Amino acid sequence: MIHFENVGLRYGMGPEILRDLTFDIPKKSFQFLTGPSGAGKTTLLRLLFLSLQPTRGLIRMFGRDITDIPRTELPLLRRRVGIIFQEFRLLDHLTTYENVALPLRVRGKDESSYKTDVLELLKWVGLGERINVLPPVLSGGEKQRAAIARALIDRPEILLADEPTANVDPPMARRLLNLFLELNRLGTAVVIATHDLTLMDQVDARRMILSEGHLDIHD
Ligand SMILES: Nc1ncnc2c1ncn2[C@@H]1O[C@H](COP(=O)(O)OP(=O)(O)OP(=O)(O)O)[C@@H](O)[C@H]1O
Ligand SMILES: [Mg+2]
**Banded model confidence at residue 192, pLDDT cuts 50, 70, 90:** very high
Question: What is the pLDDT at residue 75?
Answer: 87
What tens digit of pLDDT does each residue of 61-102 get?
A: 999 999 888 889 888 899 999 999 988 899 999 999 999 999
Q: Which pLDDT value is given to residue 67?
A: 87
Give the residue whose CA is nearest to atom 28 of ligand 1: 38
Mean pLDDT on 154-177: 91
pTM: 0.93
Strands (E) located in the chain: 2-10, 16-25, 30-34, 56-61, 64-65, 81-84, 158-162, 189-193, 206-211, 214-218
3-state secondary structure of 3: strand
Output the pLDDT for position 115. Answer: 97
Q: What distance in Å separates the CA atoms of residue 28 and residue 186, rounded to the nearest whole number?
A: 8
Distance 109 CA to ligand 1 centre (A): 35
Q: Residue 73, Cα to own-chain centre: how many angstroms? A: 20
User: Nearest C-alpha to atom 18 of ligand 1 is from which residue?
Assistant: 40
For residue range 92-126, list pLDDT tens digits in order: 999 999 999 999 999 999 999 999 999 999 999 99
Cα–ligand 1 centroid distance for 17 (angstroms) = 8
The binding-site residues of ligand 1, defined as CB within 6 angstroms of any ligand atom, are 11, 14, 17, 35, 37-43
- Closest CA to ligand 1's atom 26: 37
Q: Which ligand is nearest to the CA of 48?
A: 1
Q: What is the pLDDT of residue 145?
A: 93
* Arithmetic mean of pLDDT, 33-53: 95
Q: How is the chain split into domains, by residue range?
A: 90-155
